[in-house]
Amino acid sequence: MIELHEQYITDEKGIKKAVVIPVSEWQKIVDELEELEDIRAYDEAKAKPSDPILFEDAVNEIRKG
């Protein structure tokens, strides 16, 4: 779990309107979200049936775009 040192920006009534966190903590959050996105994409790809292809063919497909 990421330890956060957040600060809040409030309006004149004391209602929280925004959060400020250190850039290093924000980068950790972004990194974790990207990893989660990769895991979800992997899980989605594994759930779809597909025929195996040769590694060289896969590389050629990737190079073609």
| pLDDT greater than 90 at residue 50 | no
pLDDT of residue 65: 79
For the chain, give every domain's residue range. Answer: 25-65
| pLDDT greater than 90 at residue 1 | no
pLDDT of residue 16: 98
What's the pTM? 0.64
**Mean pLDDT score, 19-43:** 96
- Whole-Å CA distances, 1 to 4, 25, 28, 34, 45: 9, 11, 10, 15, 27
CA 12, CA 42: separation in Å to the nearest integer? 46
CA 48, CA 42: separation in Å to the nearest integer? 10
**Mean pLDDT score, 22-41:** 97
Q: What mean pLDDT value characterizes the chain?
A: 94
